[in-house]
Amino acid sequence: MTVRRLALAAAAAATCALLASPAAAINSYNARPSDRAEVGTLIVQFWSDARGGWRVDWVCSGAMLDADTFLTAAHCVTDWGSKPPRFFVSLDADVEPALEPIRDDEDGLTDAEAAAVVAELTSAAGRAGVRAVEGVEHHDPGYPGPATDPHDIAVVELPAGPVAARWDFEPAELPTANELTALGSRVLDSRPWTVAGYGTQEATRDPDRAHLAGGERLEATVDFNALSAAWVRLAMNESRGLGGACYGDSGGPNYVDLGGGREVLAAITITGDVPCYATNVAYRTDTANARAFLGTHVALS
């Protein structure tokens, strides 16, 4: 779930409906800092009617598929209000220092203030040391589809020059066509799984589902649960030594280690249980529908 929609869910108590579209962050339990340099966060400049001005904040997670293509979820790049949003990607390990000060401002940013924040973020030095690159979103035209396959997948196309100048990374590898199906549940259950993202860290079991601020790249071990036509369900129970995704990890990668030095980005985080304790539900990247979209933006094997 995006951070924006988490706030709306708390206000409206419409948690079940919202969880059908956005997803989660890496839980505070059994999590660790991630050195996966290809994993990044999506920063959005969007108009806030409630604040009467612009906001600039990190909202989702994702991963680089090649030198200039950032994979995320469709619900992360759509439905941003009455004025056109702007999208930025950062591969820095912690973006919170740059964005936390303006998040706490109860007033929205003016045009000039928002432009100044963006100018700082996209400069060579970055805002508070945090760098970002502006890109153009493309989401699956089939989104939102049915629950069986919502087509909840998108990319942000970035200019390769600034990305290469700011970060050194190896792009994530995608699975081949229907590879997860071919491997089968027994094999997938025997392999190590990892989820990564920048989302909020669940803090307590209170009714308000209090969360700590995210914005830092973390990862956690998850465990295979089930495979369906469009989804991978992954267990993240603390008592089993697992971690998992929570609010703000939407679009973030879920990797499976297939052995022989091959680890593939098998799915992207979309949703899960409301308190972020049990299940991460991730959209497969090896299906015909996912590959039909991805194939228009990256080379597929």
Tell me if 136 is assigned to some domain. Answer: yes
Task: Give me the number of domains the chain comprises.
Answer: 1
Q: Is 50 exceeded by the pLDDT of residue 6? A: no
CB atoms within 10 A of CB 2: 31
Do 103 and 3 touch, CB atoms closer than 8 A?
no
Tell me if 216 is assigned to some domain. Answer: no
CATH number of 59's domain: 2.40.10.10
* Distance, CA of 110 to CA of 34 (rounded, Å): 35
Write out the residue range of the structural domain in which residue 55 sits: 37-166
Q: Supply the pTM of this predicted model.
A: 0.90
Using CA atoms, how far residue 223 sits from 215, 267, 276, 281, in Å, is 24, 13, 15, 12
Tell me if 107 is assigned to some domain. Answer: yes
Per-residue pLDDT tens digits for 290-299: 999 999 999 9
Tell me if 119 is assigned to some domain. Answer: yes
Per-residue pLDDT tens digits for 55-85: 999 999 999 999 999 999 999 999 998 899 9
Per-residue pLDDT tens digits for 248-286: 999 999 999 999 999 999 999 999 877 787 889 999 999
Instruction: Specify which residues 254 forms β-bridges with.
Output: 195, 267
Q: Beta strands of 127-240 (E only): which ranges? A: 133-139, 154-157, 193-197, 201-202, 211-212, 218-227, 231-235
Tell me if 272 is assigned to some domain. Answer: no
When pLDDT is cut at 50, 70 and 90, the band that residue 247 belongs to is confident
Tell me if 145 is assigned to some domain. Answer: yes
* Distance, CA of 212 to CA of 185 (rounded, Å): 34
State the pLDDT at residue 21. 33
* Distance, CA of 89 to CA of 43 (rounded, Å): 6
Tell me if 202 is assigned to some domain. Answer: no
Tell me if 228 is assigned to some domain. Answer: no
When pLDDT is cut at 50, 70 and 90, the band that residue 9 belongs to is very low
State the number of CA atoms in the 13 A half-sphere of 103 facing the CB.
Answer: 17
State the pLDDT at residue 153. 98
CB atoms within 10 A of CB 277: 18
Per-residue pLDDT tens digits for 165-176: 999 999 999 999
